[in-house]
Structure 1
Amino acid sequence: MTIQLPVSRAGTQSDWWRGAVIYQIYPRSFADSNGDGVGDLPGIIEKLDHVADLGVDGVWLSPFFTSPMKDFGYDIADFRGVDPVFGTLSDFDRLVERAHKLGLKVVIDQVYSHTSDQHAWFQESRASRTNAKADWYTWADCKPDGTPPSNWQSVFGGPAWTWDARREQYYLHNFLTSQPDLNLHHPDVQEALLDTARFWMDRGVDGFRLDAVSFLMHDPSLRDNPPVAAPLKRTRPFDFQHHLYNKSHADIPGFLTRLRGVIDAYGDGRFIVAEVGGELADGEMKQYTHGPERLHSAYGFNYLYAETLTPQVVRDAIAVWPGAPDEGWPSWAFSNHDAPRHVSRWAAAAERERAARACMLLLLCLRGNIFLYQGEELGLPQAAIPRELLQDPEAIANWPQTLGRDGARTPMPWTAEQANGGFSDARPWLPVPDEHLPLAVDRQAGDEESVLSLTRRLLDFRRAELALRLGAVSMLDLAEPLVGFERVHEGRRLVCLFNLGSETVAVARADWTVLQSVGGATRLELPPLSGFVAERT
């Protein structure tokens, strides 16, 4: 299979994001400055030098907004406030100022599909059917027998409808019952969210990561979702439906166009990327980024939910973005706060360091923007959290079938010999695993052979090679377990070749000069879990 993509224009201040590497910070678990066991904005400021030293282009901050924390910040009670556990608005302003001085862009989460039930908007909306915000959320009458208005199921388990006795109606919540869905079909709701975007733009942020974009709008007629004939997994009722009507409405692109207009009014250099999940994700990512008036980029779960890393997974992901006219720009992540860390998904314990190295090179060779999740630069594996210490509501509700997200959210290990890995003087909100301590930043920073040092070298290499940041990609026709592709920009041709198998494979290409390699790969052979970038000579 060969896919030829057009060469993108060179990176400028206005499109710094094209081919950028952005480091995701999960604030609760990055660095605790005040000894309460929870990471905070001042802690992030103290550790930003580490991020800048990696050589990334910017940071993405997961939610730090006012919240009851039932979903750890994705249940927002005030879109314009900083939760006291994280600090203050002044702390956020200092963070932006410090990041910009270090040459880092700042991208923040925006969660527009729902709020917390503690948000003032919802408190007013549920008070009556006639108040000014009565239709700001998705309310519906019950069926004649009192059951919910549709068969829609929540992502976190159980019906997506909860009865509210004050209004004598059901409200929609695609996630927790405490996360009521906003009604973005209402123009006043859209305008309120656009004002929220302006608020953060005015404070100097460089872009947004939009959470759960396909859940922004539902089918107003509340049609039932059709069943899945033979679901591959049966963990939650959510898995038994094709989600055609509780999400993915045709009016979503119109709102995204309005949002892009707000962002563009602030001038060049702003950036919006969407998280898009579900069975329709490939098409929706293309739709939401189509043309110059929608989002700049989108990412799905091609790698995040892949249980194994195979050549076919890589080929399929690249094929989603064939480079059609007005096509958006892809983004890629192997790990994040919602998915088990990839080195644990894709490699046995004895092979995880090799996997961390090979995956870092593969990720940084992909065409698109790259998201690195905190700790990925250290090769951290997924943590095993005992049931009694679980915090994630999904994990608690579905234990043991779904172990949830806590294992990817444990605190960053900064210093191996300090209590809690140097994250906090107090007991952290999640434990620091013993197996993470030998991988702490202080242990790896001075070791030229460490995963951290490799990450820095590879980021320098990607930044210097426009073929990797901006170039076209074409797949090489290779037999498994090899996977490879060429990256081409302005006559510069690089070959990226990887062995994802368990046996050494001979390649023997005398006309290639290896520029970067991991896992002992040479132009003659590739050991298991190895790879190289070479130029044709």
Structure 2
Amino acid sequence: MPKDKTETTPERVNGIARRWWKEAVAYQIYPRSFMDSDGDGVGDLAGIVSKLDYLSDLGVTMVWLSPHYDSPNADNGYDIRDYRAVMSQFGTMDDFDALLDGLHARGIRLIVDLVVNHTSNEHAWFAEARQGKDAATRDYYIWRDPAPDGSPPNNWPSFFSGPAWTLDEASGQYYLHLFAAKQPDLNWDNPAVRGEVWDLMRFWLDKGVDGFRMDVIPFISKDPALPDLPAGIKPQKHYAEGPRLHDYLREMRREVLSHYDCATVGEGNGLDQDQMRRVVDERREELDMIFQFDVVEFDRDAAGNPRDWTLPEFKEIFARQADSMDAHGWTTVYLANHDTTRPVSRYGDDSAEWRVASTKVLNALLLTQKGTPFLYQGDEFGMTNFPFTAIGQFQDIAVRNAWAAAQATGTADEATFLTRLNRTSRDHTRTPMQWDASAEGGFTSGTPWLPVNPNSAEINATSAMADPNGAWAFTRALIELRKAQELLVYGDYRDLAPDHPQVFAFAREIGADGIAVVLNFGASPQTFALPDRPGPVRELLASDASLIGSDVMLGGWSVMICAWGDR
């Protein structure tokens, strides 16, 4: 696949510039949990290579690989020690090259994580910075003197519990870390830091990767005054879109991205929709796509606890997201990633009776929305949340730190804590991929780093692929339908029944041509009458639903996708 960017005027469809990354169907791989090739219990790059035909058969056209870089793993690879080296647990650079070549040979592009808000505290830059205030890389990070009483410079909290400042005893200064203490934040106001980032981006792009998913990119610019977090404001809102964020993203585009045929997707944590629109407006030359957070936050209260929700609330998220972008911007669609729980356990029904059917519904929603869809590993056949029974089973640093803080303050209640985590923990999507009915789900011949879900004998890729009426086959058909129907990529979005309590129905339209997607989000059968259309309606894809004229007859947790017009 060519990497040099060729300047051409793109064709426009429905007023939108045609780009390969808008037409992609992406699949996220969390390498620790995808496939272990050497029996050490940790997934690796050679394991991924062994499953490339699986990805090709599914039909995905882009892979997002979570961090594969050298890391001490304080945050499972999101604390990077060396940006130009592969984590030894995952293999070698030769293994990475084999993965990249194998994907490209199958027509699948690869984007990798770019984690440059912070490094590991074991990175050579930080090791040198700790040598003293005059160290050459001291200003690569953010240091401040203590407050007069010796406390941290401000009241900023870390996302992983406790203050966002750690005292460096040797120098008497605090360093900033919005995440774990082992993840010091970089000082992007230093042009030398930006130059280092541009160089490491070129290293991977020259190697042949097709772009980057940019971790917590809205946080890279800090207000030099470091003002206190106001009461009632979420930390991510306070940290996002600092005063020079857009300057730095435009510099990134100018210095690096404009020279390659690549794609960028930013993690939009903390940004509202107006802010996200600015980041991805093609006329501003910043990023290409953004991950919006409403879909993974709306069912949580202000304290982050799960709450009951209604289907009209859920629909509003997608309508608002589709409306957030005009013809000059682009977004993504996802229901899960490595920081969430499993969609079928969260938005669907993971009971034995309805798991497969509700997985079909959720994947139909994902793959027919406006924006580039990102499917997370295992969701193609409906992997479920893990039934954790003890705090000690969790590996997530956020859980461990929160539990330690609760114990330290005397507020630890294991039963309550466990109940909450069984609905919210990130470890639900980090449990190993369930490949077959053998021991440890076929993921490893050793002891897995995180327990394999005990339902792996029943729920696994091999059995799912063998079922022609199952979720895996339906997901593959959905992917092929999206590739064949540009309406599902570039069409306008319109909610056909915003207030219906059980049916999620919407249209994707270009002029007089359209596709209707009708989804039953419940066990009871439903009948839905399509609005008047200019011409007959034809069925494109269905699961336990039928079309009679303009009436859609839906079984429990069912799908009907139909079209009208000439497209």
Provide TM-score, normalisation by structure 1.
0.91
Q: Distance in 2 between matches of 1:298 and 1:469?
A: 16
User: SS state of the match for residue 19, structure 1?
Assistant: coil
Name whichever of 383-392 and 66-75 sits farther off.
383-392
Q: Distance in 2 between matches of 1:86 and 1:455?
A: 29
Q: Distance in 1 between matches of 2:99 and 2:294?
A: 32
Alignment map for 1:317-466 (pairs within 5 Å): 317-322=318-323, 327-350=328-351, 351-385=354-388, 386-399=390-403, 400=417, 401-402=420-421, 404-416=425-437, 418-466=438-486
Cα distance, 1:502–1:311 mapped onto 2, change above 3 Å? farther
Cα distance, 1:496–1:161 mapped onto 2, change above 3 Å? same
CA drift of 1:441 comes to: 1.4
* 1:209-252 deviation line (CA, Å, top 9, x unaligned): 00011221221101101111xxxxxxxxxxx7455544420311
1:253 and 2:246 aligned: yes
Which residue of 475, 483, 493 maps to 2:514?
Answer: 493
Alignment map for 1:77-156 (pairs within 5 Å): 77-156=81-160
Cα distance, 1:179–1:260 mapped onto 2, change above 3 Å? same
Name whichever of 105-114 and 286-295 sits farther off.
286-295
Name whichever of 313-322 and 369-378 sits farther off.
313-322
Q: Distance in 2 between matches of 1:58 and 1:241?
A: 33
CA contact (8 A) 1:152 1:224 kept: yes
Name whichever of 325-334 and 485-494 sits farther off.
485-494
* 1:293-319 deviation line (CA, Å, top 9, x unaligned): 111100122223343572332333332
Cα distance, 1:324–1:301 mapped onto 2, change above 3 Å? closer
Number of the residue aligned with 1:235: none
Letter in 2 for 1:282: Q
Cα distance, 1:349–1:496 mapped onto 2, change above 3 Å? closer
Alignment map for 1:180-329 (pairs within 5 Å): 180-228=184-232, 241=234, 243-268=236-261, 270-278=262-270, 280-292=271-283, 293-307=285-299, 308=309, 310-322=311-323, 327-329=328-330
1:515 and 2:540 aligned: yes
CA drift of 1:450 comes to: 1.4
CA drift of 1:267 comes to: 3.5
Q: Distance in 2 between matches of 1:284 and 1:152?
A: 22
* 1:414-458 deviation line (CA, Å, top 9, x unaligned): 121x22111111011011112133121111222101111111111
Cα distance, 1:500–1:311 mapped onto 2, change above 3 Å? farther
Q: Distance in 2 between matches of 1:146 and 1:101?
A: 58
Number of the residue aligned with 1:30: 34
- In structure 2, runs of 5+ residues without a counterpart are 1-11, 300-308, 404-416
Name whichever of 241-250 and 132-141 sits farther off.
241-250
Q: Distance in 2 between matches of 1:362 and 1:325?
A: 21
Number of the residue aligned with 1:231: none
CA contact (8 A) 2:295 2:317 kept: no
Cα distance, 1:241–1:461 mapped onto 2, change above 3 Å? closer
- In structure 1, runs of 5+ residues without a counterpart are 229-239
Provide TM-score, normalisation by structure 2.
0.87
Could you say what the CA RMSD is over the residues aligned between the two structures, in angstroms? 2.1
CA drift of 1:169 comes to: 0.4
User: SS state of the match for residue 144, structure 1?
Assistant: coil
Letter in 1 for 2:275: E
Q: Distance in 2 between matches of 1:182 and 1:33?
A: 35
Number of the residue aligned with 1:473: 493
CA contact (8 A) 2:539 2:562 kept: yes
CA contact (8 A) 1:304 1:336 kept: no
1:7 and 2:14 aligned: yes
Cα distance, 1:10–1:247 mapped onto 2, change above 3 Å? closer
CA drift of 1:290 comes to: 1.9
Letter in 1 for 2:335: F
Cα distance, 1:39–1:8 mapped onto 2, change above 3 Å? farther
**Alignment coverage as a number of residue pairs:** 516
User: SS state of the match for residue 42, structure 1?
Assistant: helix
CA contact (8 A) 1:6 1:323 kept: no
CA contact (8 A) 1:32 1:423 kept: yes
User: SS state of the match for residue 500, structure 2?
Assistant: coil
User: SS state of the match for residue 458, structure 2?
Assistant: helix
Cα distance, 1:516–1:325 mapped onto 2, change above 3 Å? closer
CA drift of 1:264 comes to: 3.7
Letter in 1 for 2:464: Q
User: SS state of the match for residue 318, structure 1?
Assistant: helix
Number of the residue aligned with 1:532: 560
Cα distance, 1:263–1:455 mapped onto 2, change above 3 Å? farther
Number of the residue aligned with 1:236: none
User: SS state of the match for residue 285, structure 1?
Assistant: helix
CA contact (8 A) 2:34 2:47 kept: yes
CA contact (8 A) 2:339 2:429 kept: yes
CA contact (8 A) 1:507 1:524 kept: yes
Q: Distance in 2 between matches of 1:365 and 1:296?
A: 20
Letter in 2 for 1:495: A
Cα distance, 1:501–1:306 mapped onto 2, change above 3 Å? farther
Q: Distance in 1 between matches of 2:325 and 2:215?
A: 26
CA drift of 1:521 comes to: 5.1
